[in-house]
Structure 1
Amino acid sequence: MCAPVNSADFQLAEPLAKRRIVVAMSGGVDSSVVAALAAQTGAETIGVTLQLYDHGEAVGRAGSCCAGRDIRDARAVCDKLGIAHYVFDHASSFRETVIDDFADEYLAGRTPIPCVKCNMGPKFTDLFALARDLGADCLVTGHYVRRVEGLAGAELHRAADPARDQSYFLFATTQAQLEFLRFPLGGLPKPRVRELAAELGLGVAGKPDSQDICFVPDGDYASLVKKLRPEVETHGDIVDAAGRKLGAHKGLIHFTVGQRRGLEIGGAAEPYYVLRLDPVTREVVVGPKRALAVRAARIDGVNWLGGDHVGPTMVKVRSMAKPVPARFDGERVMFETPEYGVAPGQAAVLYAGDRVLGGGWIAETERAELAVA
């Protein structure tokens, strides 16, 4: 059995026996280990799972969180740990705030990030309210990020394991939420978490991680969007930056900024990439890679966690991208050197070292003036 954790892991004042911890449980290994660690503190621990699909959809759904099998797994873990487990039906809210938004973003020619919208809505906002209603002292999740107590309050930092870091998806966490949230796995690598699950005898120790978008377990998001918004299949032209027709396409849903494959344009002197999508004309605008270069991006819906930070700033414009030097004036991100593949609908997340300063949604980009080679 692994050694018990102490109060510092959850940043709760003693005595823990008089504290109540609510754990967000998806049925996966991460949240299950977090529940076990919370229970070891001696605090009253309650597991909460949001059912994000109706019963008919949830039964038998695999490879996603908050579905039929996953709810059963979460309940089995809680039974083993001897803690309470509650399931709340949030299928309607999830459909409206995440799935419908996902489809609408594609219809508008943008590239959405449903995981951020889920964190902004059901996972944090809704769970936050539920945890408060249950009289919790904190809400604990299995996200790989770190919460650090700074001079001005709680700060959000990248995980110790860069391969697992999820800070990009949590930029919209508010300061009030951050004060209430705890992330015990932020300092651990994933292999150690699986070891802990095995040592604790949890049945989910070998359960695979969720892949793809949770509500599209087969990865075919285009079919889902077409089902929800049939008009997204409207055909259109593939044109160059000057408006010359180069080909045709079967719907904007099949393209994203920076994409090279699937254009099926013959006779080009050099490879073409998707530069932008026009939802009004239904045109896919393409050009050479150098035309993808962006010098700045305007962002909407800014959430700022950086206080009065001044100094070097880095920014990530894709979840898998490395942070690059940039300046931020409160509305525009200006890259120190041209950045490629900056897509409206994605997030721009700002960092100072490992600290998350905040971020927002990329609304539009400004092309860099590069000389043609």
Structure 2
Amino acid sequence: MKVLAAMSGGVDSAVAGARAVDAGHDVVGGHLALSRMPGTLRTGSRGCCTIEDSRDAWRACDILGIPYYVWDFSERFKEDVVDDFIAEYAAGHTPNPCMRCNERIKFPALLEKALALGFDAVCTGHYAKVIEDGQGNRELHRAADWAKDQSDVLGVLTHEQLKHSMFPLADTPSKAEVRAEAARRGLSVANKPDSHDICFIADGDTRGWLAEKIEMEPGEIVDETGAVVGGHDGANAFTVGQRRGLKLGRPAAVGKPRFVLEIRPKENKVVVGPEALLAVDQMRGIKVSWAGLPVAEVAALLDAAGTPGAGGDAARSAAFDCMVQVRAHGDPVPAQAWEELVGGRQQLVLALVEPMRGVAPGQTMVLYQGTRVLGQATIDSARSLAWDPAGAG
């Protein structure tokens, strides 16, 4: 099989590419140049798209004895990931840029290029597993090492994309084993630090970076009843669940700390309240996609509705049990889920069996059944049944 190994310059992708070679595939290494400043250097362990990473990827391919190519995706990365990140924060949301990168760059854009060049599959160093069911349909599952599992950020992959996806690290029990293997193979990236934080914000100061991109205007901080309790220099600088840096002028009546409950960019308001109101009972998601084929309850709705909206203004699937995860390596929470077609728009609705704390619009909710990833959606609203946000001023 002809395989394009996506070589990021890290240890995971290098070992994944090596295993693809060992499996007898015809492997070519490809590196995505995502930075618009090609001379950018790494800062500590931040980032994953610098000139140093490109060099590390080339060295790994040289040792593996495979061809190496660099493709410039910087313009598309800026438009689909960086600009989206800014727009989401400007709308008062908390986006996940890694999810957007996988959704729009690392798989659709790279896979499209790979298939056009005659490759059968794209191989990456993600910790996740693809399993075929009895009918040969591919399913996305968690990796053996749950501490490193990345199946959540791959929840955007579609049925067609999974057909051409290869994850050689799926059954590796630990990252330590990957590093040991890299050292045995003579790969210079064996002890290279993992990348973390947001790759295009080199110093990790997200608030400072956004302040240069989004116009900030002073506004009010109100409590859960709508009463003004302070002021701010820009609502977009706050995040749901934030406690520090609020500088409230009026203490809470009960003397307990208050947290950011909601950000209202159109009104330029930040809503704060007691910690208990951060516990979310219900979430609604948009931009719904299914990793592999949708579960039977959802498939029945889509079949019955035909084209979106044909099922009426509130057509919905049967509810099904699942687990939902919002943060990377976060604890999954049991829920009942169903999909609705409301006014022609898909919505994924989750009623949480156990409340989840501090969920914000713009984040991604990923659904699981056991180890299988069912799909994902971008959170459009999240609320505590103990509080009606509409009543807060």
User: Normalising to structure 1: TM-score of the pair?
Assistant: 0.90
Q: Give the counterpart letter for 1:226 in structure 2.
A: A
Task: Give distance in 2, aligned partners of 1:148 and 1:74.
Answer: 28
SS at match of 1:116: helix
Match of 2:211?
A: 226
Is 1:337 the counterpart of 2:361 in the alignment? no
Of 190-199 and 261-270, more deviation after overlay is shown by 261-270
Match of 2:285?
A: 299
Q: In the superposition, relative to structure 1, how do residues 82 and 57 fare at CA in structure 2: closer, same or farther (>3 Å)?
A: closer
Alignment partner of 2:149 out of 146, 151, 165: 165
Alignment partner of 1:190 out of 162, 169, 175: 175
Is 1:283 the counterpart of 2:264 in the alignment? no
Is 1:60 the counterpart of 2:59 in the alignment? no
Shift of residue 284 of structure 1? 0.8
Q: In the superposition, relative to structure 1, how do residues 57 and 235 fare at CA in structure 2: closer, same or farther (>3 Å)?
A: farther
Runs of 4+ in 1 over 6 A off after TM superposition: none
CA offset digits 1:91-116 (Å, max 9, x no partner): 10000000011011111100010000
Give the aligned length. 349
Task: Give distance in 2, aligned partners of 1:353 and 1:41.
Answer: 29
Match of 2:97?
A: 114
Task: Give distance in 1, aligned partners of 2:382 and 2:65.
Answer: 52
Match of 2:108?
A: 125
CA contact (8 A) 1:338 1:368 kept: no
SS at match of 1:281: coil
Match of 1:8?
A: none
CA contact (8 A) 1:106 1:252 kept: no
Match of 1:23?
A: 5
Alignment partner of 2:368 out of 314, 327, 351: 351
Task: Give distance in 1, aligned partners of 2:251 and 2:263.
Answer: 22
Shift of residue 309 of structure 1? 4.3
Match of 1:38?
A: 20
Task: Give distance in 2, aligned partners of 1:356 and 1:120.
Answer: 15
Match runs of 1:302-321 below 5 Å: 302-305=288-291, 307-309=294-296, 312-321=321-330
Is 1:49 the counterpart of 2:31 in the alignment? yes
CA contact (8 A) 2:147 2:329 kept: no
Instruction: Calculate percent identity across the aligned residue pairs.
Output: 44
User: Normalising to structure 2: TM-score of the pair?
Assistant: 0.85
Shift of residue 264 of structure 1? 2.4
CA contact (8 A) 1:260 1:273 kept: yes
Task: Give distance in 2, aligned partners of 1:120 and 1:334.
Answer: 26
Shift of residue 321 of structure 1? 2.1
Q: Give the counterpart letter for 1:304 in structure 2.
A: W
